[in-house]
Structure 1
Amino acid sequence: MTVLGSSDFMEPVQFAGSGILDSDQHLNPDFYNWNKVYVRYCDGASFSGDAEGRAQDGSILHFRGLRIYEAVIDELMEKGLAKATQALLTGCSAGGLATLLHCDDFSARFPKEASVKCLADAGFFLNAKDISGERSFRANFDGVVQLQNVREVLYKDCLANKDPTECFYPAELIKSIHTSVFILNSAYDPSQIRNILVPGSSDPDKSWLSCKDNIKNCNSTQIQILHGFRNEMVNDLKVVQEKEDWGMFINSCFTHCQALYGISWNSPISPKLGNKTIAKAVGDWYFGRRQGVKYIDCEYPCNPTCSSLLPTPP
């Protein structure tokens, strides 16, 4: 009964004219004139589930994320996508994870001479412990993996050595993906801080409540813990450093999802790394204008270009 649960309750697409989807050449110089398709999300498992389950009241629940993804891509290929010489699969948050899960499948649908790449925005979820020492968020991932039977989209080489839930995490996915990928993420993503590092269960006295709402409210002890979380992400991303045709833009801004918002994608007050906006870095990577498009920001609060971004609402 929410916008995430059924197309009956979906609101108008809020990102249709912003960021990487913008049709204004000045605001989106590299992708403004591309054909763009925005795929609505409501399956709860990053378009990877294919299962049926019986609810407590006896009704049958149908999880069809994988079939939805395949049906959408199949139809687009029939409408002309198969003739594309350039294509980019992208998504934000759960869509960022979906991008990683389906990147190689998407790429395999095109001729080898086509330039097909993937941009995962705010989807690099960490398999990290919360402040109480528990991996509480992993239980959510485990529930999704088991309930929706996502094994079909997981890499066989990972499943041979690790359990399916671990193979669902981006740190493992990026080890197996062959297609060129760009990882866009904040090292201080408020969504991950609220749900992975400091879920409500780990903070019974609510001492982190103000910090989770705005990083500027965090005390020195909390900042050190956030630095540790950031360092865990940087360590997981060492795999990207070894992949020559991959790229990344890991800033220290307190924000979640950046490619779909004009202010963060490409504006006079966008966050910058190496004196480049996200749009410029992604364009350089996609079109091969330069090698080694891999930027990792210093620790918060070192980057003054982050100050223009407002905290993401809870």
Structure 2
Amino acid sequence: MVRLKQLWPSLMVLAVLVIGARAVPITKLESAVAKGAVCLDGSAPAYHLDKGSGSGVNNWIVHMEGGGWCADTASCEERKSLMKGSSELMNEDFGFFGILSGNQTSNPDFYNWNRVKVRYCDGSSFTGDIEAVDPAHKLYFRGFRIWQAAMDDLMAKGMSNAQNAILSGCSAGALAAILHCDRFKSILPETAKVKCVSDAGFFINGKDINGGSSMESYYSKVAATHGSAKNLPVSCTSSMKPELCFFPENVVKTMQTPLFVINAAFDSWQIKNILAPTVVDKHKEWNKCKQDFKKCTPTQLQTVQGYREQMLAALEPFRATNTSGLFLDSCHTHCQGGSAALWSGPQGPQVGKTKMAKAVGEWFYERSTFQNVDCPSLNCNPTCPGATTED
């Protein structure tokens, strides 16, 4: 981790030279510390903002960074020594690609918007809020306050005048985009067109290889550790246990704000952690298969194929809404919209002969509807890339 931290400035320079990405400097909200809006280690929350121009000056994309969760003191303490738990360890500059790109060719619908990446350093998808601080471990569970502080600061910087706005995210950040979607709309002008985009955040309450739901148990621990219940959508928690409201399939039923879901039917993170998590795969029979489907047994491949059916079932209530958008490819990957190549480049996956950049743009501006599901089997889509992940 230290070595990567040392190399990061050089890697950023290389990205700028080779790809033409803009290195966007970090903004640390030191004033938010007094309000208790802090990372796991007590450091200030942070984001990166590339300001809009021209026709996009009053349009905003706020993208929530991903990176999993921590469910207990031990895992959160480990996390606070990484950039996912401390802004002191974050890179000072960040290259914006994909849906955040400032390049008109690769991101024609959103390139000149105000584009924001909110850094993730709380481990709860921005839902935690516990006042007390563990004196022994000095851990702060304040993810929701981070979200509030970032939104307050952005509103003061012009988002209060938004005409168009998107709350998006990748992975755990994409889940945050779903959980806070209606709340995001509520703080913006009533006249604004507000929608949300989830990239690899539709985590399902799927059955694992033993027929259980280890992810539900895991989310129960996350909710308890971070005090998340009060910040999850009330429309869900009023009728379900808090841990069930971490699953988008239960939240989207009562969402009021339009949502676009980008997801892989064979999501690599979900296959590893929901279908065949280590806690269940005690004999490590799935280790090779989880990494490379070519190394799966015929029985394992049938199980993986069955996971797609679970995904489709979980998406059914979402697909029933008229305002929803869906780009469900049959790739083995996780997080796609933050990559220049995958968002709109020649290597990007296509569903219905359409790349995700065009699909999301058409849906947002209501030029056409887009709710497409890819061909049904593994390796059926020749445009699928190798795995790419933010986690």
What TM-score range do you get, normalising by the shorter chain?
over 0.9
The within-5 A match list for 1:77-92 is 77-92=155-170
Residue 329 of structure 2, aligned match among 245, 251, 263: 251
Residue 194 of structure 1, aligned match among 255, 268, 272: 272
In the other structure, the counterpart of 1:117 is 195
Mark the CA change 1:152 to 1:295 in structure 2 (over 3 Å): closer, same or farther.
Answer: same
In the other structure, the counterpart of 2:24 is none
In the other structure, the counterpart of 2:96 is 17
Q: Cα distance, 1:58 vs. partner?
A: 3.6
Rounded Cα–Cα distance in structure 2 between residues aligned with 1:87 and 1:243: 20
Rounded Cα–Cα distance in structure 1 between residues aligned with 2:254 and 2:390: 34
CA contact (8 A) 1:53 1:147 kept: no
Q: Cα distance, 1:112 vs. partner?
A: 2.1
CA contact (8 A) 2:162 2:189 kept: no
Does residue 1:305 correspond to 2:372, yes or no?
A: no
CA contact (8 A) 1:90 1:99 kept: yes
Note the residue ranges of structure 2 that are not aligned, 5 or more in a row.
Answer: 1-80
Does residue 1:35 correspond to 2:124, yes or no?
A: no
Does residue 1:147 correspond to 2:147, yes or no?
A: no
Rounded Cα–Cα distance in structure 1 between residues aligned with 2:99 and 2:285: 37
Residue 19 of structure 1 aligns with an amino acid whose one-letter code is G
Q: Cα distance, 1:311 vs. partner?
A: 6.2
Residue 175 of structure 1, aligned match among 246, 253, 256: 253
Q: CA RMSD in A?
A: 1.8
Q: Cα distance, 1:8 vs. partner?
A: 1.6
Does residue 1:44 correspond to 2:90, yes or no?
A: no
CA contact (8 A) 2:103 2:111 kept: yes
Rounded Cα–Cα distance in structure 1 between residues aligned with 2:130 and 2:288: 40
SS in 2 for 1:37: strand
Mark the CA change 1:232 to 1:60 in structure 2 (over 3 Å): closer, same or farther.
Answer: same
In the other structure, the counterpart of 1:295 is 372
Rounded Cα–Cα distance in structure 2 between residues aligned with 1:220 and 1:280: 36
Residue 107 of structure 2 aligns with an amino acid whose one-letter code is N
In the other structure, the counterpart of 2:234 is 156
Q: Cα distance, 1:62 vs. partner?
A: 2.1
Q: Cα distance, 1:10 vs. partner?
A: 1.9
In the other structure, the counterpart of 1:61 is 139
State percent identity of aligned pairs: 42
Rounded Cα–Cα distance in structure 2 between residues aligned with 1:311 and 1:211: 17
Rounded Cα–Cα distance in structure 1 between residues aligned with 2:324 and 2:168: 14
Does residue 1:130 correspond to 2:208, yes or no?
A: yes
Q: Cα distance, 1:256 vs. partner?
A: 0.5
CA contact (8 A) 1:48 1:150 kept: yes
Residue 357 of structure 2, aligned match among 275, 279, 289: 279
Rounded Cα–Cα distance in structure 2 between residues aligned with 1:4 and 1:120: 20
Q: Cα distance, 1:312 vs. partner?
A: 5.3
In the other structure, the counterpart of 1:233 is 311
SS in 2 for 1:70: helix
The alignment's TM-score, normalised by the length of structure 2, stands at: 0.76
The CA deviation string for residues 203-225 of structure 1, in whole angstroms up to 9 with x for no partner, is 23322111111223223211111
Rounded Cα–Cα distance in structure 2 between residues aligned with 1:260 and 1:272: 16
Mark the CA change 1:87 to 1:208 in structure 2 (over 3 Å): closer, same or farther.
Answer: same
Note the residue ranges of structure 1 that are not aligned, 5 or more in a row.
Answer: none
Q: Cα distance, 1:110 vs. partner?
A: 1.7
CA contact (8 A) 2:268 2:387 kept: no
The CA deviation string for residues 151-182 of structure 1, in whole angstroms up to 9 with x for no partner, is 22223332232211112211111111100100
Q: State which drifts further: 206-215 or 57-66.
A: 57-66
Mark the CA change 1:221 to 1:12 in structure 2 (over 3 Å): closer, same or farther.
Answer: farther
SS in 1 for 2:184: helix
Mark the CA change 1:256 to 1:112 in structure 2 (over 3 Å): closer, same or farther.
Answer: same
In the other structure, the counterpart of 1:72 is 150
Count of aligned pairs between the two proteins: 310
SS in 2 for 1:202: coil
Rounded Cα–Cα distance in structure 1 between residues aligned with 2:282 and 2:251: 33
Rounded Cα–Cα distance in structure 1 between residues aligned with 2:165 and 2:212: 40
In the other structure, the counterpart of 1:2 is 82
SS in 2 for 1:234: helix
Residue 183 of structure 2 aligns with an amino acid whose one-letter code is D
